[in-house]
Amino acid sequence: MNLTSTLKEFTSIKEKSSNGHSDTSVNVNVNKQQQDEDSIKKLIINEVGEDVLQFIDQHLEFKNNRTFLTSTNTRFNIDKLQKNKFKNIVNLKRINDVRWINKFFESINGKIELGGIYINSVETYSTRKNRILRKRTKPLNWLHYFTDVVITRVLPKVPFTKRIYFFITKGHGRVLSKAETFGRLYSCGFEIIDEQLINDKLFFE
């Protein structure tokens, strides 16, 4: 797909979620008569990079007012959408920062048409490990990784520390396996069509 379609209206709204975090939602309405494709390209590139744009570009078109582009970790920006108004939803913020992941997926599935496309990303155990180990030299990188495992993988699963962990983090930055992520998607009514590792995040569609 070439983004030869152009922008008729481009609105960016800063929403304040209940947990105090700001999220950016962008409603992309396309008009074939105008020549403004660079606006949408630059938006995606500035947020997540050119490789992600190419991945999105392979699967959907931003035209006919049918794609909702957002960068959010809250269901608010999804639940406010009119049902079946959009065929596709693209979220540029990783799902690791979503507090209630299954409910988030269910909200998206309830808003898009049957057969629509949902694109998002996740930082998995393996991609996080690689990212951390690259940041420092031995043995500091392994010490950092060990500490990170305890905080992000052990504390959220221990009954005594689980509530404390989620109270402090609000669910932000948790680490998920690829199997868990795809399992959640399938349980919420999605089917994985494609996946690609980009910039230490696994993008799925």
H or E element: which one contains 42?
Answer: helix 37-48
In this predicted model, what pLDDT tens digit does every residue of 21-51 receive, in sequence order?
A: 556 555 554 444 344 566 777 888 999 999 9
What pLDDT band is residue 6 in, cutting at 50, 70 and 90? Answer: very low
Does 195 score more than 80 pLDDT? yes
Domain boundaries, the chain: 7-121+178-204, 126-169
pTM: 0.78
* Average pLDDT score, the chain: 82
Question: 94 pLDDT exceeds 50?
Answer: yes
Tokens of 65: 């007012």
Six-digit token string for 92: 């540029």
More confident residue, 123 or 21: 123
pLDDT tens for 129-173 read 999 999 888 899 999 999 988 988 888 888 888 888 888 887 788
Q: Which of 140, 193, 142, 202 is nearest to 175 (CA)?
A: 202
Q: What is the mean pLDDT of residues 166-181?
A: 86
For position 153, what pLDDT does the model report? 84
β-sheet with 22-30: strand ranges across: 7-16, 22-30, 67-71, 86-91, 112-122, 201-204, 195-198
Cα–Cα distances in Å, from 111 out to 59, 88, 107, 150? 19, 9, 6, 37
Q: What per-residue confidence (pLDDT) applies to 19?
A: 47
> Look-up: residue for tokens 């349980």?
187
Angle at 21 between CA 174 and CA 30, to 5 degrees: 100
